[in-house]
Structure 1
Amino acid sequence: MAEVQPPAADGVLAEAVAQPSPEAAELATAAAAVEAAAVTTEVAALARLYGEPLLKLPNDLYIPPDALEIFLEAFEGPLDLLLYLIRKQNFNILDIPMAQLTLQYLKYVDQIRLSNLELAAEYLLMAAMLIEIKSRMLLPQRQSELDIESDDPRAELVRRLLEYEQIKLAAYDLNTIPQLDRDFVRTQIFIEQSLVPTWPDVEPIDLQQAWLDVLKRAKLTQHHKISREELSVREHMTGILRRLQSSRFVEFADLFDGAGGVPVVVVNFVALLELAKETLIEITQAEPFAPIYVRLAYSPA
């Protein structure tokens, strides 16, 4: 049987389909290069920021690796660390398992020795004390020591821990008390005072004290002469009004010259009270403990 060969035109078409054009080959090469560059960039990128690869660290945001240290617990000293380990493991503070406590304590000390040797010195001293207590508990006791009940090597440590816990709780209670400028502030209110001066009112106790001073001076100038004299309160009231008409203010003590002794001073004082009762005079005072002045009362027109 003879072979049937395809026509020449179809063979040319098949060869053209099998071999791509130069433009298509260039596009495929470019796509492969872009994909390879993307893979290389993705591998070299340190991070991605908003979806874009970050090839190098920025200078203003660089954080040294040593600064990325996290301290989950902060302790104020060896006793604070021991108390934390005891409470965390629910150990009986009166019967401390020294082996477990010492092991956990030494792990923490090894961590802080790597960063701060000066801070670890105090903790190393406590570690030595824990090891000493543990060694004393492991040593066999003599028969004489068994007959006499010896002290527990942990007793001193327990006493210090209990005292420290008590002081720490007291400090916490004190810290919960509201403090000025931390939990609250004092309010300040500014009040505008009137430009018109306001004179304080004369209290009865001030008038009484002034009267006692006048009475004391009158007793110093009195004459020991027995006589009977009729004194008129109205007469003294008139005399006080006449004296006040010539002066704007008269000091309280100046209204009593002391002449006539205590009876005249008493009647003059009663006359002054009657005038004040009838609102014919005013008794004023510039400020507390200042002299008391008397003046005529001015009624509004």
Structure 2
Amino acid sequence: MSDPGSNDQALEALVAPPVDSTPDVVDSVAIARLYGEPLFNLPQDLYIPPDALEVFLETFEGPLDLLLYLIRKQNFNVLDIPMAEVTGQYLSYVEQIRATNLELAAEYLLMAAMLIEIKARMLLPVAPREDGQEPEDPRAELVRRLLEYEQMKIASQKLDELPRIGRDFYNAQASADFEVEKILPMVQLADLQAAWADIIRRAKLNAHHHITREQLSVREHMTHILRHLSGVRFIEFSDLFMSRVNEGAPVAVVVVHFLAMLELARESLLEITQAEPYAPIYVRLSYSSMPA
């Protein structure tokens, strides 16, 4: 005998299954999905705005491009443009643009106004110039702009024809996984000699010098000078130092000897005299220090 509870559960599973087992395709192929559900037919009340699908065709790049196209297509001489015919064709194209894109037509309308102005100026009688030269052609400025634009257009086309990376070709790339053994150079005898000579040269530059301090007394040299001058009336300046120089005294001793002489002169114990300019200089004891 079956359980009534189990029969109720099986019935609920058939009415509301936990997983949706409805196939996406039923006798046909679904063309789309709307909120996750398959859609086999387009709705009858579907609204598609007129500008939902817009096709962009290759068009002219500006007023000068259109004007140059009209001239070259009909083999007109750019230096002698038939303004009436070209202006009529230009205005016809501008009217087509205004019907679809008013913002784009504004740029072409400016050129149309210039063409109409040139056409009107050519219909008016030309007044002679005061300098006797030919009056300027009203089309001259337009011709200059057309020729410059054509040169730039041809140059841009030539640049576009050049091979471009990513469009016409790609850089070749290759990877290799290998090890290169580094070969060490051979050392020659001359290289060792040069390296050793460089070490010797640098060692000589880093030699150490030992400086010793020599005790020199100015008072001692002052006593020596007084003793030297005590037995003579005067002595020449250079002879006062020759005794020290002959003894082989270093420069420092001679400098201290000179400082001792200056100190004696400052204390008025010595007199340094000279008879006339560039004459020899003499040193003697002051009279005040000599015995009476």
How would you bin the TM-score normalised by the shorter chain?
A: 0.3 to 0.5
Task: Give the helix-richer structure, 1 or 2.
Answer: 1
Q: Is the radius of gyration larger for structure 1 or structure 2?
A: 2
Which gives a bigger RCO, structure 1 or 2 (Cα 8 Å, sep 6+)? 1
